[in-house]
Amino acid sequence: MTKRKQIALSALALSATLLTGCDQINQIATDIATEEAGKAVEEWPSPSAPEESPAELINTNEIGSQIEALTVKGKAPMTNYKREEFGQTWEDVDRNGCDQRNDVLARDLTNVIFKQGTRDCVVLSGTFKDPYTGETIEHVRGGGKVDIDHVVALGQAWASGAQQLTEQERTWLANDPMNLMASDASANRQKGDKEASAWLPPNKSFRCEYVSRQIMVKSKYKLSVTKAEKNAMIVVLNSCPN
């Protein structure tokens, strides 16, 4: 073999070694990125399953300690608030094949009729006992009588710390079944982005669960309360049977 061929073969061997090393480095980097992404996912607050009743998930023994642990501070400005900051409307964050709006309708309504061919994902109609007003509503898809309310309104969440969350965490907040409930459309719009010191359900028998859910959501996503809001919550809690 000529010296020129030996040099050429050596160069090819070196190139192959370097390429292999690059592939290994790239693979290591990919593995690390995947592992870190997995850790991040594990650290996100996990929404409860849609079929679980939020009332059953409320631990009355923890509500008092949770509200005391909440940070008390003034509202942040609504600067840069947009619904889009909380991800796509009605995601399927629990990956059950149905979006969260229909999950909540299926959970909160009775006598539910689903659209055929949707694997029981699209709710066409059902009977709804509205917890905000105590009224019974016959829901029909597109009828405009029933909304899906965010118990901690997204604008309120933004002003109490959600702007410091990641986009993924805000998406989970906006689609967490604990923070979602079917409601009378008129009552939902009266509520708007108000917190507990500015609005409570007209149906007084539901106020304990309503305030408890707000406390749990704010605790879960590390949101703050104003002094007036906390005082209003405490007044409600003091009237609760438990």
- Of 35 and 184, the one with more pLDDT: 184
Residues 6 or more apart whose CB falls under 8 angstroms from that of 194 comprise 153, 156
Q: 8 pLDDT exceeds 70? A: no
CA distance 57 to 11: 67
pTM listed for this prediction: 0.78
Please tell me the predicted confidence (pLDDT) of residue 52. Answer: 62
Supply the Cα-derived Rg of the chain in whole angstroms.
25
CA-nearest of 225, 233, 237 to 71 is 225
Please tell me the predicted confidence (pLDDT) of residue 67. Answer: 95
Please tell me the predicted confidence (pLDDT) of residue 1. Answer: 53
Please tell me the predicted confidence (pLDDT) of residue 230. Answer: 97
Residue 4 has which token pair? 């020129």
In the structure, what pLDDT confidence band is assigned to residue 46 with cuts at 50, 70 and 90?
low
Give backbone dihedrals phi and psi of 199, rounded to 5 degrees, phi first.
Answer: -155, 135
Distance between start and end Cα atoms, the chain? 92
Please tell me the predicted confidence (pLDDT) of residue 30. Answer: 40
Region 67-85: mean pLDDT is: 91
- Digit-coded pLDDT (tens) for 108-144: 999 999 999 999 999 999 999 999 999 999 999 999 9
Q: 242 pLDDT exceeds 80? A: no
Region 84-88: mean pLDDT is: 93
- Of 139 and 92, the one with more pLDDT: 139
Token pair 């905000």 is found at: 132
- Of 59 and 90, the one with more pLDDT: 90
- Taking every pair of Cα atoms in the chain, the longest distance, rounded to a whole number of angstroms, is 96
What 3 state SS string does 101-167 have? HHHHHHHHCEEEEECCCCCCCCEEEEEEECCCCCCEEEEECCCCCEEEEECCCHHHHHHCCHHHCCH
Residue 28 has which token pair? 């290591």
Please tell me the predicted confidence (pLDDT) of residue 25. Answer: 42
Region 146-175: mean pLDDT is: 95
Q: 15 pLDDT exceeds 70? A: no
- Give percent of the chain above pLDDT 90: 65
Range among 27-31, 49-53, 77-81, 111-115 rated most confident: 111-115
